[in-house]
Amino acid sequence: MDTTLLKGLAVLEVLAARETPAGVSEIAGLLGIGKSNTHRLLQTLVAAGYVRRDADRRYACSLRLWEKGWDVARRYDVARVARAPMVALAQDTAETVNLSVLDGDEVVYLDKIDSPLPVRADTRIAGRAPAYCTATGKALLAHVEDPAALLARVTWERFTARTPRDAATVLSELSEVRRRGYALSRGEWRDGVAGVAAPILGAGGRSLAAVGVGGPAERMPPARLRRLAPMVVAAAAAITRAAGMGGPTLARSAP
């Protein structure tokens, strides 16, 4: 284990638990580590923006830590408030509806509503899928801070003949996702499965979650995906409003 990282996290926990700033000696005493080591940890955290130093050389957590914690808390809140719009979307489309969040270069399914039809897209809550070849994944990737850096870590496993093979291809598609407000997937992760998804945006226009509709490709040709897109975008906007995250998501007319 990285002991320096653990000590840095311990410093953050000490500061987060306090109502007033603390000096180096006090923090070092609480953690049982040397003052010079504590000072280095604090300087690193200040440089990273998670800790601030006041004029009296005392330290406290910055708003950046609150912002990141709020983003995480919002994800759990989104799963709660998304249920009603997801139910409405499932009723209107008769297809499987998914709610996903991004975890590294994968999506994790927070919630789903199965299609009532006997042949349907198969996903499971807490299941994972590669973000670069799924509709909700691409909707999320289109609104991260640096999609190129995230895609640089992808191993580019090929799941079907339609799976993207490189970052340039995906980055080009993400530009189109941002332009039109929704993402598409046509047999890129699983043969015979297609979907459309829209992002749920948090502070600063960054992706917080994504809602999508998926089903058998034979039932969801390109023309139907385009017809479903405004409905999915509207559901994402409803979730955004219900979660108190401001205005609607990027709602565009389907081409």
Give the pLDDT confidence of 16-48 residue by residue, as tens digits.
Answer: 988 899 999 999 999 999 999 999 999 999 999
Q: What pLDDT is recorded for position 252?
A: 36
Q: Which amino acid is at 68?
A: K
Nearest one of 234, 133, 249 to 187, comparing CA atoms? 133
Q: Is the pLDDT of residue 232 over 70?
A: yes
Percent of the chain predicted with pLDDT > 70: 92
Domain ranges in the chain with CATH number 3.30.450.40: 69-242
pLDDT bucket at 253, cuts 50 / 70 / 90: very low
- Decide: helix, strand or coil at residue 53: strand
Per-residue pLDDT reduced to its tens digit, 67-100 = 777 666 666 678 888 999 999 999 999 999 999 9
d(CA 77, CA 175): 28
Sign of CA dihedral 236, 178, 214, 106: negative
Q: In this model, does residue 205 exceed pLDDT 70?
A: yes
- Rounded Cα distance between 161 and 190, Å, is 10
173-197 mean pLDDT: 97
CATH code linked to domain 69-242 = 3.30.450.40
Architecture of domain 3-61: Orthogonal Bundle (1.10)
Q: What is the pLDDT of residue 76?
A: 61
Question: Cα–Cα distance between 172 and 168 in angstroms, integer?
Answer: 6
Q: What is the pLDDT of residue 106?
A: 93
Q: Are 75 and 101 in contact (CB under 8 A)?
A: yes
Which pLDDT score, from 0 to 100, does residue 208 have? 87
What residue ranges of the chain are covered by domains with CATH 1.10.10.10?
A: 3-61
